[in-house]
A and B are shown apart, each in its own frame.
Chain A
Amino acid sequence: MSKKEQSRQWIIGEVTVNGTKIPIVDTKLISADRLGSYKARWGIGRMRYIVEPGLYAAGKPSAGSPVFVSANYKMSFDRLRSQLKGIDGWILVLDTKGINVWCAAGKGTFGTDELIRRIRAVNLTDVISHRKLILPQLGAPGVSAHKVREVSGFMVKYGPVRAEDIPAYLNAGRNATAKMRQVNFGFTDRAVLIPNELIQSAKYFLPAAACFFLLSGVGADIYSAERMIRYGLFSAAIFSAAYVIGITLPPLLLPWLPGKAFSVKGASVGLILAVAVGLYFIYNPESYRNVFGAAAWLFIIPAATSFTAMNFTGCSTYTSPSGVRREMRAAVPIQIVLATVGAGLWITGLFA
């Protein structure tokens, strides 16, 4: 099977309406779809995980069937089609540059203009007899329902936040309950984001860890490879631990960590690691070079974990830009001071 055919396995047929051929999609996800999602979560080919924008059919839709609008990020599209089992409907996929609905709405690519353009590009008025569209609620930051109506004549109805609520939404006569309208950020919602965060930050943290390793050989006698192995490995390991913990624990433990600011939550996990490292040093005095090199970690670790946790605001579903700005005004100067003091101590330790 060619790569192209394989990537379009989810097309299971074709329906012709007024001379236009419309692909019919599978409403069942297969292992290739799940593998694709898994890879995207690890950042593999994530920006190329796309569906061609346009009109698709689910089941045996007719001119009166509902139209669901989605993004052309394949994971978004898969979420939608997998909920249309036994539902005859149309799927209008917007060109969101491979970005999910909510993020694309924030950038305006899942937006009023693209929606109007896509309605025309697929000649939607030739395919259906009504003028109603069901949009995911999280498309609303990019779409102005009354403007779409003004310009195109189509009435935008916002469906539930989550595709899994679509059957219940339709059964209730296209009414979403208050619960369907609320965004959550539960344990699983947070945990699935971690792999991509690890991958994205690796390009900053791994070189930094390598620097700790290589610079550990430096000393008053210029350089010693033996010292690099003896102290450098452990330094790199501590820094890597700060990175892994700073990326994974704040999302996992978010509701239970102290403070509302993410930088405070991050600093708290860093302090725990710093104390653990400090205790290890106390019981294993041979593992550190001198008091400067050991004390440095009390500053470097909380600075690093505070920073990584602060960056997780972008993944969260409830932080406002005004709030993040306020948090950063207080946190960033402290992070810089901690990092500078820590780096200063560590470098002093090389020559002490």
Chain B
Amino acid sequence: MTGLRYLNNVSTLRLDTARCNGCRMCIVVCPHGVFAVTQRKARIIDLDACMECGACELNCPEDALRVKAGVGCASAIIQGAIRSTEPSCGCDSKESSCC
């Protein structure tokens, strides 16, 4: 990342090292270089760079990763609060406001 960093100590990402088989899939899918693998085990090397996109959890074949994934979007959170649902950008095809 080009020097842009968001808030520290907020990410819900957790790694269960015991389950990890070192397949490196988390390194492949992570857009922010959060992981490294040493001695066939993944490690979280930059937790505060995590944006909780959920790619690593979904693509971990050993189910070793957990993250409360979602969109880091204030208007989605406001929409969710108004409709008392999960945060949603409300971008079905009828609406024009979307990422």
Contact = CB atoms under 8 A, between A and B. Distances in A.
A326 B7 contact: yes
B50 A200 contact: no
A137 B31 CA distance: 8
A328 B29 contact: no
A99 B58 CA distance: 20
Contacts of A145: 25, 59
Contacts of A183: 1, 31-32
Nearest to B28: A158
Contact of B97 (A97, A200, A322, A323): A200
B2 interface: yes
A103 B89 CA distance: 10
A322 B96 contact: no
B68 interface: yes
A177 to B, nearest CB: 12
Chain A contact patch, size range = 35 or more
Interface string B2-39: 11111110111000000000000101111111000000
A260 B10 contact: no
Contacts of A323: 6-7, 10-11, 72
A158 B74 contact: no
Contacts of B69: 141, 321
Given A98-B93, A141-B69, A314-B89, A146 B61 contact: yes
A138 interface: yes
Contact of B68 (A105, A186, A321): A321
B98 interface: yes
A47 B97 CA distance: 9
Contacts of B2: 184-186, 255
B45 interface: no
Nearest to B51: A320
Contacts of A200: 96-97
A144 B58 contact: yes
Contact of B54 (A43, A100, A137, A141): A141
B75 A320 contact: no
B33 A182 contact: yes
A83 interface: no
Contacts of B32: 182-183, 318
B49 interface: yes
A303 to B, nearest CB: 14
B14 to A, nearest CB: 12
Interface of B: 1-8, 10-12, 25, 27-33, 49-55, 58-59, 61, 68-77, 87, 89, 91-93, 95-99
Given A103-B91, A185-B2, A325-B77, 4 more contacts: A47-B93, A97-B93, A140-B59, A322-B12
11 contacts: A97-B91, A99-B98, A145-B59, A176-B28, A311-B74, A318-B6, A319-B6, A321-B69, A322-B10, A326-B7, A328-B74
Q: Which 8 A-B pairs have the closest CB atoms?
A: A314-B73, A319-B72, A140-B55, A321-B70, A140-B29, A183-B31, A320-B52, A323-B7
